[in-house]
């Protein structure tokens, strides 16, 4: 036990009881008296300390006052969330306002951004976009970023690479030939995963909308959710280290022993860390010197960049974006927390073109819209018509905002990563999330919430996590898969996590907060969550085709990879729970609502729904792929200049026929 005092008790005792060689017997008697006095002081202070503890509040609460200005005699600071929301609205407003209104403006903006003329057919694309009220005309930097490395290859080399990668397992081809489009698999006779053709068929359905306006060409489509292309740092810095001419066949590039899966002889992390510079921690194998975090609090490994714990100034911190600029090269030990580093599917260390629905940091796949987003399905779409088996605008199970349950909801399967190497599933993102939100221990978490006396002010206190979870969380696994990868197997996985019955997607709309967490790859339910009248709370390490068009803190709430700020997010928007009130010795048992928290939460729900109705439509995905296809056609050609738009010197356009 520590005893509060102006100076340490041990120091006082040592000073009084010090023994010197020259002390007499009389001094020894004095020492005995001083010793008794010292003991008396110790017990006296201990008694006073205990009395103070009995009369003190349950937890020390620090008052924190949000203010637009810093007072001269105070250290008040703005709450981060209103500022993040205001900046998000400004950013999105600027995005929409700066879009070109005419073809000439769009051409000029294209030239300014990319330093070249648009591809041939850009005028038809512009007419296609305008006739369908497509809002985003200029901001397609994701296409330029994904395709720019392939300008270093000739058309013949690019076509050869497409053919070679198209023969690998889990890679399909979507082929445009004489105005017709079809999906095909070059490994079909060797056995085909049904899911593989679904992604290719989804892309085919999009291309069919404008197939007659495109030349003959092939698109290699990733059949898996995981990214495939990871180029080592040295090969990006010094391209001559990589085979540039693949005319000798794919074996001359990847080697005779290359297989499409790891089969226990490697893993994604060993390939991924080679994209980092040689002087990075990841390349120096620093992560191997740090043991994985304990199953109890594995998220501690993520605190380096996703530091969402409260600082000494009690200011809560939140992720500005979903990835929050997290860098696994600098924090390699955090890779244990992400299942995509343990995928069973082998990455390709050479620049082959592969079109994928999402990619993680460092991958060089080419992003395309997910087939889950483009075509309605009962498992991934908002508004499913069970009679006609098509999507519709309004879901029959939608619940009015005022009737939605004010808690945080999630259901999902125990996916999250592969099995190479085994034994790391306990730390995958979904497993960590379920354990945190169903924790029944007596541990506490520091939470910032509205003051019981003044909702315009906030207090910070330690609150028992079991009580918090009971009040605001409804999170559970519904299906057990990959249990052999979990330490201890099926029984251990069930014992450590909450499981509940499966629910239809429409049941999600009964809740105000819908958490969206990565599985084996990106989450296919995100667009459905946006379309509902609830608020998506998204945590992901993936970027998708729409990432630059969607604004965190306006259309959804971003959540860091540690998830630690989730309790503060709830408290800001929905108010203090009974356990929070009890933590500051408040006698009130009712939830203390912040002044405008619910209004702000409702605003995010509406903004996300509006985005889905105006920018996240199937036709917006078609406009994206149409523009991507025009760019791809130019790369495919031996004469790229002939596949470029001819622009006159008088600000007009003279389009090649």
Does residue 116 sit within a domain? Answer: no
The reply to whether 346 and 411 lie within a common domain is no
The domain total for the chain is: 3
One domain for residues 224 and 249: yes
Residues 589 and 475 in one domain: yes
> Same domain, yes or no, for 262 and 159?
yes
Among candidate residues 264, 429, 225, 428, the one with its CA nearest the CA of residue 344: 264
Measured CA to CA, the distance from residue 223 to residue 211 in angstroms comes to 22
pLDDT score, position 131: 98
Question: How far is it, in rounded angstroms, from Cα 244 to Cα 152?
Answer: 10
Residue 134 belongs to a domain: no
Q: What is the pLDDT of residue 499?
A: 96
Whether 476 and 604 map to the same domain: the answer is yes
Residue (of 384, 424, 594, 644) closest to 505 by Cα position: 384
Q: Has residue 235 been placed in a domain?
A: yes
User: Do 307 and 424 reside in the same domain of the chain?
Assistant: no
Q: What is the rounded distance in angstroms from the CA atom of residue 598 to the CA atom of residue 595?
A: 8
Query: What are residue 647's DSSP bridge partners?
Result: 653
Residue 331 half-sphere exposure toward CB, CA atoms < 13 A: 19
Does residue 471 share a domain with residue 404? yes
Q: Which domain holds residue 31?
A: 9-55
Q: Report yes or no on 579 lying in a domain.
A: yes
Residue 386, in any domain of the structure: yes
Q: Would you give the distance in Å from CA 253 to the centre of its chain?
A: 33
Do 632 and 615 lie in one domain? The reply is no
Question: According to the model, what pLDDT value does residue 440 have?
Answer: 94
- What's the rounded Cα separation, in Å, for the pair 96 and 102? 14
* The pLDDT of residue 196: 57
- Nearest Cα to 320, choosing from 86, 69, 535, 615? 86
Q: Same structural domain for residues 632 and 563? A: no
Angle between helices 618-636 and 122-131 (to 10 degrees): 180
Q: Encoding tokens for residue 250?
A: 């794919």
Residue in the structure block whose two tokens are 């060689």:
21
Predicted local distance difference test score (pLDDT) of residue 275: 96
| CATH number of the domain where residue 390 is located | 3.40.50
Residue 27, pLDDT score: 46
Beta strand ranges found along 335-413 (DSSP E): 355-356, 359-360, 366-367, 384-385, 390-391, 405-413
Q: Is residue 372 part of a domain?
A: no
Interatomic CA distance for residues 221 and 239, integer angstroms: 25
Contact indicator for 204, 182 with CB cutoff of 8 Å? yes
In DSSP notation, 130-183 reads: HHTT-S-SS--HHHHHHHGGGGGS-HHHHHHHHHHHTTSTTEEEEEEETTEEEE
Looking at the fold, whether 299 and 420 belong to one and the same domain comes out as no
Q: What is the mean pLDDT of each run of 10 residues along the chain (657 residues)?
A: 34 35 43 47 39 37 43 50 95 98 97 96 98 98 97 96 93 95 78 64 96 96 93 91 88 88 86 95 70 46 39 61 76 90 92 96 96 93 89 93 97 89 90 96 91 81 95 95 85 94 95 95 95 96 95 96 94 93 79 82 98 98 98 96 81 47
User: Does residue 448 contact residue 567 with C-beta atoms inside 8 Å?
Assistant: no
The reply to whether 105 falls in a domain is no
User: Following CA atoms 7, 8, 11, 15 in sequence, which dihedral angle do they give, to the nearest 10 degrees?
Assistant: 50
Domain presence at residue 99: no
Alpha carbon distance 179, 210 (integer Å): 9
- Burial profile 376-393: b = 16 or more Cβ within 10 angstroms, e = fewer: bbeebbbbbeeeeeebee
For 522, counting Cβ atoms within 10 Å of its Cβ (0-12 exposed, 13-18 middle, 19+ buried), the class is buried
**Rounded distance between C-alpha atoms, residue 519 and residue 414, angstroms:** 8
Question: Of 18, 36, 55, which marks where a domain is finished?
Answer: 55
On whether both 614 and 633 belong to a single domain, the answer is: no
The sign one gets for the Cα dihedral 118, 119, 120, 126 is: negative
304 and 176: one domain?
Answer: yes
- The predicted structure's pLDDT at residue 577: 93
């Amino acid at each position: 036990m520590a005893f509060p005092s102006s100076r340490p008790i041990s120091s006082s005792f040592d000073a009084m009881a010090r023994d010197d060689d020259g002390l007499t017997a009389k001094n020894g008697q004095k020492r005995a008296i001083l010793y008794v006095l010292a003991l008396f002081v110790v017990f006296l202070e201990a008694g006073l300390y205990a009395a103070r503890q009995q009369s003190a509040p349950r937890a020390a609460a620090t008052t924190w006052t949000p203010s637009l200005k810093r007072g001269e005699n105070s250290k008040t600071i703005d709450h981060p969330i209103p500022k993040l929301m205001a900046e998000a609205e400004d950013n999105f407003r600027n995005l929409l306002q700066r879009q070109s209104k005419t073809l000439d403006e769009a051409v000029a903006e294209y030239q300014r951004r990319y330093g070249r003329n648009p591809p041939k057919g850009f005028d038809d694309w512009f007419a296609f976009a305008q006739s369908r009220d497509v809002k985003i005309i200029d901001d397609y930097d994701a296409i330029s970023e994904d395709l720019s490395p392939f300008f270093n290859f000739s058309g013949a080399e690019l076509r050869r690479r497409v053919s070679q990668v198209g023969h690998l397992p889990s890679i399909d081809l979507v082929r445009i030939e004489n105005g017709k489009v079809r999906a095909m698999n070059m490994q079909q006779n060797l056995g085909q995963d049904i899911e593989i053709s679904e992604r290719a068929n989804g892309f085919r359905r999009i291309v069919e909308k404008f197939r007659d306006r495109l030349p003959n060409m092939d698109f290699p489509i990733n059949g898996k959710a995981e990214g495939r292309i990871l180029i080592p740092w040295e090969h990006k810095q010094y391209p001559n280290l990589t085979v540039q001419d693949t005319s000798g066949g794919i074996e001359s590039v990847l080697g005779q022993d290359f297989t499409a899966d790891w089969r226990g002889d490697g893993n994604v992390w060993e390939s991924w860390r080679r994209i980092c510079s040689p002087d990075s921690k990841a390349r120096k194998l620093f992560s191997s010197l740090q043991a994985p975090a304990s199953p109890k609090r594995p998220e501690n490994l993520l605190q380096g960049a996703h530091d969402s714990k409260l600082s000494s100034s009690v200011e809560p911190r939140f992720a500005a974006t979903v990835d929050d600029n997290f860098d696994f090269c600098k924090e390699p030990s955090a890779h244990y927390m992400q299942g995509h580093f343990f995928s069973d599917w082998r990455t390709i260390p050479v620049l082959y073109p592969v079109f994928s629905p999402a990619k993680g940091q460092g991958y060089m796949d080419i992003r395309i819209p997910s087939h889950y987003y483009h075509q309605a399905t009962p498992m991934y779409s908002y508004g499913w018509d069970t009679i006609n088996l098509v999507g519709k605008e309004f879901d029959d199970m939608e619940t009015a905002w005022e009737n939605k349950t004010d808690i945080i909801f999630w259901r999902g399967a125990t996916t999250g990563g592969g099995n190479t190497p085994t034994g790391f599933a306990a730390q995958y993102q979904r497993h960590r999330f379920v354990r945190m939100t169903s924790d029944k221990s007596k541990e506490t978490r520091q939470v910032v919430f509205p003051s019981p006396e003044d909702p315009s002010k906030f207090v910070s206190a330690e609150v028992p996590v079991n009580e918090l979870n009971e009040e605001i969380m409804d999170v559970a696994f519904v299906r057990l898969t990959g249990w052999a990868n979990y330490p201890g197997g099926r029984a251990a996985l069930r014992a450590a996590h909450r499981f509940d019955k499966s629910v239809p997607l429409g049941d999600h709309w009964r809740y105000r907060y819908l958490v969206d967490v990565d599985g084996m790859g990106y989450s296919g339910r995100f667009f459905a969550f946006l379309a509902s009248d609830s608020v998506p709370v998204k945590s992901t390490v993936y970027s998708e085709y729409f990432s630059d068009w969607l604004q965190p803190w306006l259309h959804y709430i971003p959540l860091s990879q540690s998830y630690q700020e989730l309790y503060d997010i709830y408290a800001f928007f929905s108010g203090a729970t009974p356990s929070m009130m009890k933590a500051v010795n408040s006698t009130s048992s009712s939830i203390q609502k912040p002044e405008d928290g619910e209004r702000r939460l409702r605003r995010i729900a509406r903004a996300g729904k509006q985005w889905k109705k105006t920018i996240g439509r199937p036709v917006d995905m078609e406009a994206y792929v149409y523009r991507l296809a025009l760019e791809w056609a130019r790369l495919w050609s031996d004469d790229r200049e002939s596949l470029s738009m001819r622009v006159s010197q008088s600000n007009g356009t003279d389009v090649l026929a």
